[in-house]
Structure 1
Amino acid sequence: MSQTLDEIMKKNIALMTACDVAYQQWEHEPILDFDTDERVGERLGWTATPTKSLFLSFKSGGHALLLTHKDARLDSKSVKALMGQRPSIASNEEMIATLGCVPGAVCPFGLPEHIPLLVDDTLFGFDTLMYTPGPPEFTFAFAAKDLTVLLSALPNPIHLLGQPADA
């Protein structure tokens, strides 16, 4: 049984608190697409780098979540090299049933423990990162330097996904 959006949000707040990571929080209209994200971001004056979480599935029945920059594309070859199998983006129904998130607002933290988190290593080069902590009407931002601390506190398998040499 998947978790509720409120439970996901509480896990995110608990993670930030336990890791002593300072974060900003905004409540706004639900963001479920990039157009709304840009409109809300402009209105609220966001300067943090937006992230995107892609819920991936594998033919073996397994899953992974890719945390990357909002403009990045899925690099299936790099994921296959890392995970040993070619990924596809999971269906909305599969994602909802497994994670409890809503399409367009997938949270990278608070995942079921068995789901690996693939982290695009380019995220470490930014000053501040922002993401949806479950409910699509909330956005959190934190210093990118704290990403390592947050990842180390998670029970999930963590894999860094580097950029290919020709990118």
Structure 2
Amino acid sequence: MLLADNQHLMSMLAELDIVTTTVEHPPLRTVEDSKRLRGDLAGGHAKSLFLRDKKSGYWLLVALEQTRVDLRVAASLLQASRLSFASEEELGSILGVVPGAVSPFAAINDVHGRVCVVLEQRLLDSDVLNCHPLRNDRTTAIATHDLLRFLDRIRHPPRIIDLPQRMASN
């Protein structure tokens, strides 16, 4: 199975008439790296967690970067058994990305439908979201409604959850 890369992703977005803007920057692995190195990009900034539950179900949880995600609360909201981070090997084989490059765009590589994409409700309050386009040395801005259209097109309509309003510290 050939996994989609950045070029394939951008081609698909163009075929869907989805306009994006991409900037290059040093590779980012953490939210802290992102805040320090990405420059001044307008819009909401997404962080994505690739998780698995006790029953080997996979979840791609996307929240605003400032949201503090409590995995126990998320599991409860999703009615999932205990959530933990999936391994780097699972990340590569299922979503085709490396740590630091996880984003909702990576669902394009889940051709077997093993991953449930979950969006934090507050993401939808942003007109534009900034996400990594399958690599962590670029950030792509996409209109939120276009991201939802993309996820529907790749057969990963997201579940929306309302995470508690606890914000991560700077």
| TM-score normalised according to structure 1 size | 0.82
* Counterpart Cα distance in 1 of 2:150 and 2:66: 23
Alignment partners' CA distance in 1, 2:92 and 2:68: 22
Q: Identify the residue that residue 53 of structure 1 maps to in structure 2.
A: 48
Distance 1:2 1:101, change over 3 A: farther
- Counterpart of 1:112, as a letter, is D
Q: Determine if the alignment matches structure 1 residue 33 to structure 2 residue 30.
A: yes
Residues of 1 paired with 2:76 and 2:15: CA distance? 33
Q: Distance in 2 between matches of 1:84 and 1:2?
A: 30
Per-residue CA deviations over 1:61-89 (Å, capped at 9, x if unaligned) read: 12110111112222432433324323112
Partner of 1:92 in structure 2? 88
Q: Which amino acid counterpart does residue 85 of structure 1 have in structure 2?
A: S
Once the two structures are superposed, the pairs formed by residues 5-154 of structure 1 within 5 Å of their partners are 7-42=4-39, 45-75=40-70, 76-109=72-105, 110-113=108-111, 114=113, 115-154=115-154
| Aligned equivalents of 1:130, 1:66: Cα separation in 2 | 15
Q: Gaps (5+ residues) in structure 2? A: none
Mapped partners of 2:5, 2:120: distance in 1 = 22
CA RMSD, aligned part only?
Answer: 2.3
Identical residues among aligned pairs (%): 28
- Matched residue SS, 2:38: helix
What is the number of residues matched between the two proteins? 161
Per-residue displacement from partner, 1:29-53 (whole Å, max 9, x unpaired)? 21122333123223xx212211011
Q: Which amino acid aligns with 1:30?
A: P
SS in 1 for 2:98: coil
Shift of residue 133, structure 1, vs aligned partner: 0.8
The 1-side partners of 2:148 and 2:135 are apart by 24
**Structure 1 residue runs without a partner (length 5+):** none
Give the structure-2-normalised TM-score: 0.81
Contact 1:2 1:100 in 2 (8 A): no
Give, in whole Å, the separation in 1 of the partners of 2:95 and 2:146.
Answer: 24
Cα pair 2:94 2:109 within 8 Å, conserved: no
